[in-house]
C-alpha cells in the first residue's frame, strides 16, 4: 500500500498525465497547488524528446499550467548527458529528431552534427520524418555508426488518438539494419534519479506519476521509487490486471489522486 504521507517529491510524466495534445487534463492546477501548500517539490520527466524545456514551459503556460523550464527533464537531455559521459568533444552525430533533441546535443558545441560520416546515429521522435532521412540513418548504421534511441515509446498520445512515437521509428531502423539501439530514456532509471536529486529527495521519497506501465511504472521500479498510474493516457485498467508490471497505486485521473492524498 502506497503511503502518500511519506512522499516529499513528485515526478510527473506529461503526455497522458497533464495533457493530451493541446488539451489540459482535469485536476492539474489543483494538484500542483496542493503540492505547493504541502511543500512537496515536483517536476516533470518525459520521454518526448521533440521539444526543449523552454518550449514545454510555453506549451504548458498556454494551457494554464505553470511549470518553469528548469523543472522539465526530457529524454533528449538524459541522452545528451549520457553521451557526454561516454564520448569525447567533437564526436560526429547524425540526428533523426526534432528541435528538443538537436538543442540538447548541439547547443554548447560539444558534439558536431555530421550527415556524411557520423560516429553516432541518435534518434528520437520526428513528426516530419522523411524516407530520405530514414534511408540516410540506415546507411550510416550499416556502415558502423552506433545507434542510440532516446526512448522506446512506440506510440504517442495526441488529441486524435495514439500516433507513432520514437519507438516506432527505432523499430523501422532496427528492421532495416538488424541493429538494436541503445535506449536512454524510460524505463531506464537515469531520468528518475536525476529528477529526484534535483528535487532534493531520495528515491524512496519520490513518487512517479505516469500513464504507461512499460515506461513510467517500470522505470520507477528500476529506480526504487513508488509509483501511481493514471488511466488518462495509454495504459487501460484491463491491461493493469494482466501485466507483470504493477504500480503501487492506480487512479482514474489526477482529481482521484488528489482526493486520496487529501484523505491521508
Q: Which residues are tagged catalytic?
A: 13, 15
Name the β-bridge partners of 41.
Answer: 9
HSE-CB for 187 with a 13 A CA cutoff: 17
Contacts of 151 (CB under 8 A, 6+ apart): 47, 48, 49, 75, 124, 165, 166, 167, 183, 184, 185, 186, 215
Q: State the residue for C-alpha cell 485536476.
A: 27
Q: For 245, phi and psi rounded to 5 degrees?
A: -90, 115
Q: For 79, phi and psi rounded to 5 degrees?
A: -65, -45
Return the C-alpha cell found at 50: 521533440
- Cβ(83)–Cβ(44) under 8 Å? no
SS3 of 79, please?
A: helix
Amino acid at each position: 500500500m502506497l503511503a502518500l504521507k511519506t512522499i516529499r517529491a513528485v515526478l510527473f510524466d506529461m503526455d497522458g498525465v497533464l495533457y493530451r495534445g493541446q488539451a489540459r487534463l482535469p485536476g492539474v492546477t489543483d494538484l500542483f497547488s496542493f503540492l505547493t501548500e504541502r511543500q512537496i517539490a515536483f517536476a516533470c520527466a518525459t520521454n518526448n524528446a521533440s521539444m526543449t524545456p523552454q518550449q514545454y514551459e510555453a506549451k504548458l503556460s498556454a494551457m494554464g499550467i505553470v511549470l518553469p523550464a528548469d523543472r522539465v527533464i526530457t529524454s533528449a537531455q538524459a541522452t545528451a548527458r549520457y553521451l557526454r559521459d561516454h564520448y569525447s568533444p567533437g564526436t560526429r552525430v547524425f540526428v533523426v529528431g526534432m528541435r528538443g533533441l538537436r538543442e540538447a546535443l548541439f547547443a554548447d558545441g560539444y558534439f558536431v552534427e555530421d550527415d556524411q560520416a557520423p560516429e553516432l546515429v541518435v534518434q528520437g521522435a520526428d513528426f516530419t520524418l522523411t524516407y530520405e532521412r530514414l534511408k540516410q540513418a540506415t546507411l550510416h548504421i550499416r556502415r558502423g555508426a552506433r545507434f542510440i534511441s532516446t526512448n522506446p515509446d512506440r506510440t504517442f498520445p495526441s488529441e486524435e488518438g495514439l500516433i507513432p512515437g520514437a519507438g516506432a521509428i527505432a523499430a523501422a531502423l532496427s528492421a532495416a539494419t538488424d541493429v538494436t539501439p541503445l535506449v536512454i530514456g524510460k524505463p531506464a532509471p537515469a531520468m528518475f534519479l536525476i529528477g529526484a536529486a534535483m528535487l532534493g529527495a531520495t528515491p524512496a521519497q519520490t513518487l512517479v506519476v505516469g500513464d504507461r506501465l512499460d515506461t513510467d511504472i517500470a522505470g520507477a521500479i528500476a529506480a526504487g521509487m513508488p509509483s501511481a498510474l493514471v488511466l488518462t493516457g495509454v495504459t487501460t485498467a484491463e491491461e493493469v490486471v494482466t501485466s507483470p508490471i504493477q504500480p503501487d497505486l492506480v487512479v482514474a485521473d489526477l482529481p482521484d489522486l488528489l482526493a486520496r492524498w487529501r484523505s491521508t
